Amino acid sequence: MQVKEYKPLIVAFCCNWCSYAGADLAGNNRLNYPADVKIIRVPCSCRVNPMFVLRAFQRGADGVIICGCHPGDCHYTSGNYFTRRRMAALFSMLDYLGIEKERTRVEWVSAAEGAKFAATMNDFASTVAALGENKRLEDLRCKK
């Protein structure tokens, strides 16, 4: 019997104006990052509702990362400032409920930082892989 190698599933919410373009640049530059990172494009990082993060975990994500423009560079002037407050509160709450804090992250990646995008994803994927499967926020009904 062949044992399936464990690969973490990572959901990355990337803002349209910076991080998504950063991911594009990483691709153009032929930089490697794990194929297990699934990118979801959002108009702004502050579009990410706490429910999105929980839903991602429910549907099988092992880690969720939110990428946006650097503070001060938001396309909509102040969107990422709100993201920063919201996610600080949400991640702190998840930690309070006993969910591993390494599974969630917020990172600022600009359109010019293709290398940073690839490095961030590599680092995050290996951190999550070390934790193993997400058991604490899983929904068995969503497992295949």
Partner 1 sequence: MQKITREQLIEKAAALLAGGTVTAVLGWSKGEFDYDVTPAVFHTAEELNKDFVWNDFCGANFSKYLVAKAAKEEGKVLVFLKPCDTYSFNQLLTEHRFDREKVYAVGIPCEGMADIAKIKEICGEGISSIDCGEKIAVTTIYEDEPVMIDAKDVLAERCVNCKSKKHVAYDELMGEEGTVIDSARFDEVAKIEAMTPDERFAFWQNELSRCIRCNACRDACPACTCEKCVFDNPNSGVENKAPANSFEEKMFHIIRAFHVAGRCTDCGECSRVCPQNIPLHLLNRKFIKDMNEFYGEYQAGEEVGTRAPLVNYTTGDIEPGEVFDRRDTDA
Only one of the segments 4-12, 29-37, 91-99, 117-125 lies at the binding site for partner 1 (rule: CB under 8 A); that segment is 91-99
Q: Give dist(CA 113, CA 97) in Å, integer.
A: 34
Question: Which pair of tokens denotes residue 54?
Answer: 């929980």
Stretch that binds partner 1, among 1-9, 24-32, 92-100, 115-123 (CB under 8 A): 92-100
Q: Which of 52, 75, 81, 122 binds partner 1 (CB under 8 A)?
A: 81
Could you tell me what percentage of the chain is helix, strand and coil, using 3-state DSSP and rounding each to the nearest 5?
45, 15, 40
| From candidates 40, 50, 75, 129, binder to partner 1 by CB under 8 A | 50
Q: Does 138 bind partner 1 (CB under 8 A)?
A: yes
Quick check: helix, strand or coil at residue 139? coil
Phi-psi region of 30 (alpha: psi -120 to 50; beta: other; left: phi over 0): left
Q: Which range binds partner 1 by CB under 8 A, 6-14, 31-39, 86-94, 119-127? A: 86-94
Q: Which helix (H) or strand (E) holds 42?
A: strand 37-42
Task: Confirm or reject binding of residue 47 to partner 1 (CB under 8 A).
Answer: no
Tokens of 111: 């359109």
Any contact of residue 91 with partner 1 (CB under 8 A)? yes
70 touches partner 1 by CB under 8 A: no
- What CA–CA distances, in Å, run from 49 to 56, 66, 107? 11, 11, 16
Distance of closest approach, residue 116 Cβ to partner 1, in angstroms: 15
- Residues forming the site for partner 1 (CB under 8 A): 50-51, 54, 57-58, 71-72, 78, 81-82, 84-101, 104-106, 136-141
